[in-house]
Amino acid sequence: MAETMFWGFTLRFVQSLAQASPFILCGFLVAAILRRFFGYAETRRLFGGTGRRSLLRAWIIGMLLPVCSLGVIPVIREMRRAGLKGGTILAFAMAAPLFNPLSLLYGLTLSEPVAILSFAACSLVIVTIVGMTWDRMYPDSAGQVVELKPVSWGIRRMLAVGTSAAREASSVCLVYIGIGLGGVALLGALIPSGGLQHAFNSDNLLAPLLMSALAVPVYATPMLAMSQLGMMFQHANSIGAAFVLLALGAGMNLGLVTWMYRQYGLRRSLVWFILLEVVVLGLAYGVDQPLFPKDIEPANHTHAFDIYCQPFFRTPGGRVSLAALTLEKLKRDVFIYEWHSLRLLLLLIGAGSVLRLTDRRNRLERWIEIEVPQTESGRLDLVLPPPVIGCIWLAALVAISVVGCYAYYPTADEVLQEMYIARGEALSASLAGDKTHSSYWIDIYSEWSRKMEVGVYLRNWQLSDYHRWKARLLREQLEFLEHEVADEEQQEVRRLVAKIEQTHRRLKIAFTNEL
């Protein structure tokens, strides 16, 4: 039992860290840009200062930047140093992890795209009501500002961004990020495997309330949260619980809670959470019935939250160890780009640690901030003010996210080639009764069907109900197949494999000849 808990904790921690690493890197970069290109005065101006419009600006900027609830931590630390009010900072911290261009497109391919747009509008309601109320109760929440010296254009300015990002990556930020990851890893050690499959059914009136208790220690990237929402809509689970998952599961984590407590104290933090819970639960119960999918028969279970439970059903016997299974799962489940991002993150942390050990008096920063007489620029040189370059940097991050959509969601022809491989692996493993191999490839097969929907929607800006139903039917049959393989019903498995082959052929015709 103890061994299962230990390796469950380890697996979930490393999985979550790898998934979060691209967003954490982006967070460090955004924080460095705000610090060195914008400066504190321009950062306050960017976010609307201390007026009411600051909440709306925080929501808009947060919706555009590709960060998660861990990657937002270095950004809000910089906003705090800039002297922004607590309501604006916490509103940004809530809004930024919920949506980005990638996750929003994914969400729009759900059975009810209006639900995602409604969730986005509800997030604005949350940050506005909670932020304005909290700021009214605590108008003195802005921190003391120590303005930074401007940095000369050229190599010094670029070096300033790198050193700021490296020092922040090796700061107390790591503690907050570790606490955030520890929350979801602890769930993976304590909750029995499959223990959440029946907790959020549509007939459970307490499902949103139960989700509110689970969601804060949960850490979910924007893409993972959207994937879980998709599974909940597909099974017609509680829509109110789905909204709470997005608002608190993707928008909060224990690291953010710890940072809030250290910055604003216990009383103010509790007031924020009480306001947040009241508004989120009120909206959750309000949207539950209006957004409930009417064309889907409710299921009595969901696999959306298996990732927050123990990853091992039982301690393996024989020569197979949990350590070996953990390594195998990491190699199988973590994408190659996530491994590369994790290496870059560790490199940035290492560089910052070396810088802190060798330059404890910040001599490098003082050299960077020395005012250097600017020589006359050439005819082709264009010297731009730092805030302008900062805006270009932030716009570039958004543009990269948009361009990345086309790479992450390929054309239908490319997806069908990947689905051909996944189909062969999934169906052959099912016929052979290999539960682990079958479950792994069924998930990949199902995920590619969703990516095909997004890719078509991205390129045509529409996706008919006919095509949605073709893809949904395939996913439903794949789920039935996974259950039959687990129950070792080989006769039913063979019947479903034949049906899936037929459904796949019709899906291919629909997405190649009938668009």
Residue type, 50: T
Distance CA(107)–CA(101), nearest Å, equals 10
- Which of 409, 443, 411 has its CA nearest to residue 426? 443
pLDDT at 42: 85
b/e sequence 397-406, b meaning 16+ C-beta within 10 Å: bbeebeebbe
The string of DSSP letters for 392-443 reads HHHHHHHHHHHHHHHHHS--HHHHHHHHHHHHHHHHHHHHHT-HHHHHHHHH
Same domain membership, residue 480 and residue 362: no
- Its pTM stands at 0.83
- Domain contains 220: yes
For the chain, the domain total comes to: 2
What's the length of the chain?
515
- Domain contains 97: yes
Distance CA(197)–CA(482), nearest Å, equals 15
Distance CA(90)–CA(281), nearest Å, equals 18
Same domain membership, residue 357 and residue 493: no
Distance CA(102)–CA(50), nearest Å, equals 31
Apex CA 205: angle with CA 199 and CA 208, to 5°? 65
pLDDT at 4: 82
Distance CA(297)–CA(164), nearest Å, equals 53
The string of DSSP letters for 448-465 reads HHHHHHHHHHHHHS---H
Same domain membership, residue 286 and residue 396: yes
- Domain contains 226: yes
- pLDDT tens for 28-46 read 999 998 888 888 888 888 8
Look-up of token digits 């491989």? 421
Within the chain, which residues score under 70 in pLDDT?
A: 1, 101-102, 105-106, 108-113, 295-296, 299-301, 313-320, 371-384, 515
pLDDT at 190: 85
Same domain membership, residue 426 and residue 329: no
Residue type, 38: F
In the DSSP assignment, the letter for residue 141 is -
- pLDDT tens for 211-257 read 888 888 888 888 778 777 777 777 778 888 888 888 888 888 899 99
Same domain membership, residue 85 and residue 30: yes
Same domain membership, residue 329 and residue 238: yes
Give the helix, strand, coil percentages of the chain, each rounded to 5.
70, 0, 30
- Domain contains 378: no
> By the 8 A CB rule, do 170 and 279 touch?
no
- Domain contains 379: no
- Which of 304, 339, 307, 311 has its CA nearest to residue 326? 311
Same domain membership, residue 470 and residue 350: no
- For 325, the token pair is 């299974």
Apex CA 160: angle with CA 165 and CA 400, to 5°? 55
Same domain membership, residue 389 and residue 472: no
Look-up of token digits 């404890």? 360
- Domain contains 292: yes
The string of DSSP letters for 286-302 reads HHTTTTS-TTSPPPS--
The string of DSSP letters for 163-223 reads HHHHHHHTSTHHHHHHHHHHHHHHHHHHSPTTTTTTTT-TT-TTHHHHHHHHHTT----HH
Residue 129 backbone zone (phi > 0: left; psi -120 to 50: alpha; other: beta): alpha
Same domain membership, residue 437 and residue 402: no
Same domain membership, residue 495 and residue 353: no
- For 140, the token pair is 């003195």
Apex CA 125: angle with CA 20 and CA 200, to 5°? 60
> By the 8 A CB rule, do 77 and 173 touch?
yes
pLDDT at 176: 95
CB-count exposure of residue 314 (10 Å: 0-12, 13-18, 19+):
exposed
- What phi, psi does 274 have (nearest 5°)? -65, -45
How crowded is residue 8: how many other Cβ atoms within 10 Å of its Cβ? 24
Same domain membership, residue 466 and residue 397: no
Same domain membership, residue 165 and residue 268: yes
Residue by residue, what is the 3-state secondary structure of 341-387?
Answer: HHHHHHHHHHHHHHHHHHCCCCHHHHHHCCCCCCCCCCCCCCCCCHH
Distance CA(112)–CA(230), nearest Å, equals 10
- Domain contains 426: yes
In the DSSP assignment, the letter for residue 320 is -
pLDDT at 315: 47
Distance CA(46)–CA(388), nearest Å, equals 11
Distance CA(46)–CA(395), nearest Å, equals 13
Domain span including residue 467 = 410-513
- Domain contains 380: no
Whole-angstrom CA distances from 278 to 6, 141, 206, 217, 275 are: 36, 22, 15, 18, 5
Distance CA(291)–CA(294), nearest Å, equals 9
